[in-house]
Amino acid sequence: MNESTPLQSEQEREALKFLERDFNQCFQQMRQYDSQIFDVLKFMFTAYSALIGVALGLYQFSLKENRNLALPAIAALVVGLVIGLFMFALTIRNRVYFVQVVRYLNEQRGFFFKYKPMGFENHSRMYTDYKQPPYFDWRSSHLWLCYIGAALNSTLLGTLLYILYPCSWAPAITGSTALFLLQLVFAIGYLTSREGKSASKAVFGKE
């Protein structure tokens, strides 16, 4: 028994060092996912503003000069919409990564706080619940950014439909509204389906 104690202590010290390194690395990873979600939205907003302006400019110029420039405008909007939908899916995916890492950090924090190191009571009730945050939380800043991204994609589709059907606003309004709702349904359905699963199952879809 006496011979195993030093080995056990050494193993415990190495395990604590590993957890410390793992916590720090995961915290950096969490910040990276958070920043990526903001960066995706900034890219979408900047690119879409320029793209919609160019497309409408080409369309108006073609009408004024009686030249057929609608096709390049349509092609640009279609390519932009495909990229935008990919960016929206990437944002939702990053939310899954973010939540999984935060839950792991909460679990580690909760584990150490149980021992009240140096008498620390955690009176502020810093997060220790490994089941939080939820993947889908409509109040989350990430989800609000997703809503804005969905609205940008819908605006792009509305602009495309306006160029295709210039005599009526109905197709643009109907199409953009439908796309906005479809994106929300996809986001909510995908995120809520991640609950109650292991990290491998939630992120990769298999154990």
The predicted-structure confidence for 186-205, as pLDDT tens digits, reads as follows 999 999 999 998 888 888 88
> Average pLDDT in the 68-86 region?
87
Confidence of residue 106 (pLDDT cuts 50, 70, 90): very high
Among 94, 79, 114, which Cα is nearest to 37's?
94
pLDDT average, residue stretch 143-170: 91
CB of 128 closer than 8 Å to CB of 99: no
Q: How far apart are the first and last CA of the chain?
A: 38
- Average pLDDT in the chain: 88
pLDDT band, residue 2 (cuts 50/70/90) = very low
Query: What is the value of pTM for the model shown?
Result: 0.85
Question: How far apart are alpha carbons 196 and 167 in whole angstroms?
Answer: 50
Segment 109-124, tens digit of pLDDT: 998 888 888 888 888 8
Which domain covers residue 56, as residue numbers? 4-204
Residue 8 has a pLDDT of 62
pLDDT, tens digit, 9 for 90 and up, residues 11-42: 888 888 888 899 999 999 999 999 999 999 88
> What value does the mean pLDDT take over residues 127-154?
93
Query: How many domains would you assign to the chain?
Result: 1
Token pair of 137, please?
A: 């939380």
The rounded radius of gyration (Å) of the Cα atoms in the chain is: 24
